[in-house]
Structure 1
Amino acid sequence: MTDGVRASRPGGRTARVRADVLAAVEAELAEHGYDGLTIDAVAARSGVHRTTLYRRWKDVSGLLVDLLAAGADDAWEPADTGSLETDLMAVNREVHAALTARPSITQAVIAASFRTAEAAEALTRFWADRYERTALVVRRAVDRGEVAADVDAHRLLLTATAPLYHQLVLLRQPMTRDEADQHARIAAASVR
């Protein structure tokens, strides 16, 4: 044990239980939102006994926090298409797909993160991780000589992706994939 946290093996039963529970949390959240997310529903969907859920995650907020933390456990990185513009288009296409999926787990998680301080902090950590990983598109563009080394990757990524979140999540208005591509083109042109 370190700092009161039990070390767990990366595989085996513990990993399977976590994966099953988080898949159930994701499905319940997408179908019913945070208000409909319950320990009993997650237990029923995952096949994991509710006492295990209470022991490990304590409450619904703990489930949501772990779902967000699991995003840092994956090996995702942005596609390497050969140019900044098309790399940003690939990123925007992933964001667009996530935000227009029905039901959209991305939108459900964003909405749920406003319900507890712990979930809000977990979502902030998740986004920080994703922006840090996505900055690779700018580093590759610098290495290819497409853009100057002093390009602010975070600002560029916000320029490319923010219109998607604004229109699809905040305004709840449709956006085509072509429009998402156009925002990527505008962002890329802004730093050339």
Structure 2
Amino acid sequence: MLEAALIELTTTGYTALTVEGVARRAGVHKTTIYRNWKDSDGLVVDALTSHFATDIPIPDTGAVESDLRVLARSLVATMTTRAGRALLSTVLSDAVRIPRLAEVKRTLFEDRFRRAEPVVTRAVERGELPEDTDPAELLKALVAPIYFRLVFTGEPVDDTTADRSVRVVLAAANAGALTAP
């Protein structure tokens, strides 16, 4: 049902998504969905959370530059798919006024940063980054140029964008600019 909800979201968009449409796509009766979710908002929240919690693997290549490159390129690959565009559209739309959807946006980012934190921690332990580097600040700085292009400028986003973001964030971290606020 979660996969059906995600497909329905990417096909119809958030505002046109219905429990009936998801049920039809999943091959179940809508009461089956209502037994698990009280409304379509909860279903969308769970579908997006489930999909994006596992979609970007956390690398351990042995070097911070290649770890960050894998992270950034995975983000680009994920966010340029139909599901990624649906997530962006959903979390940037009026739907965020719905408390559960606003919560999913916050939860998705917190989960991503928490899961990726070991990349920075290992780099500090290996002496590749300054000891006072804040993992969350580094990760926010890493993804910011990618999201800026996806959301605001509409410029192409590709591996070059990801690689440039890695170079910039490493320079900032090594200059001491990414410490805890």
Whole-Å separation in 2 of the counterparts to 1:173 and 1:118: 30
Quote the offset at 1:138 in angstroms: 0.5
Q: Specify the alignment match of 2:71 in structure 1.
A: 91
Unpaired runs of at least 5, structure 2: 175-181
The yes-or-no answer on 1:124 pairing with 2:99 is: no
Equivalent runs, 1:173-184 vs 2, <5 Å: 173-184=155-166
Unpaired runs of at least 5, structure 1: 1-20
Q: Specify the alignment match of 1:150 in structure 2.
A: 132
Taking a change above 3 Å as real, the CA distance of residues 75 and 54 of structure 1, as seen in their structure-2 partners, is: same
Whole-Å separation in 1 of the counterparts to 2:136 and 2:53: 21
Match of 1:134 among 116, 129, 132: 116
Q: Specify the alignment match of 1:12 in structure 2.
A: none
Normalising by structure 1, we get a TM-score of 0.81
Contact 1:110 1:123 in 2 (8 A): no
Contact 2:76 2:159 in 1 (8 A): yes
User: What are the Cα deviations for residues 45-102 of structure 1, in whole angstroms up to 9, with x where unaligned?
Assistant: 111210111222121101112123425864964111221111111111011101222x
Q: Specify the alignment match of 2:36 in structure 1.
A: 56
Give the counterpart letter for 1:138 in structure 2.
V
Equivalent runs, 1:1-192 vs 2, <5 Å: 21-70=1-50, 74=54, 77-101=57-81, 103=82, 105-113=83-91, 114=93, 115=95, 116-192=98-174
| Number of residue pairs aligned between Structure 1 and Structure 2 | 170
Whole-Å separation in 2 of the counterparts to 1:161 and 1:72: 15
User: What are the Cα deviations for residues 130-182 of structure 1, in whole angstroms up to 9, with x where unaligned?
Assistant: 11111111011012111122101111111111110110123222123112211
User: What are the Cα deviations for residues 5-49 of structure 1, in whole angstroms up to 9, with x where unaligned?
Assistant: xxxxxxxxxxxxxxxx10001111111110221111110111121
Quote the offset at 1:110 in angstroms: 3.0
Normalising by structure 2, we get a TM-score of 0.86
SS at match of 1:34: coil
Contact 1:84 1:146 in 2 (8 A): yes
Whole-Å separation in 2 of the counterparts to 1:109 and 1:77: 18
Kindly report the root-mean-square deviation, in angstroms, between the aligned alpha carbons of the 2 structures: 1.9
Give the counterpart letter for 2:88 in structure 1.
I
| Greater displacement, 65-74 / 182-191 | 65-74
Taking a change above 3 Å as real, the CA distance of residues 99 and 80 of structure 1, as seen in their structure-2 partners, is: same
Whole-Å separation in 2 of the counterparts to 1:169 and 1:26: 20
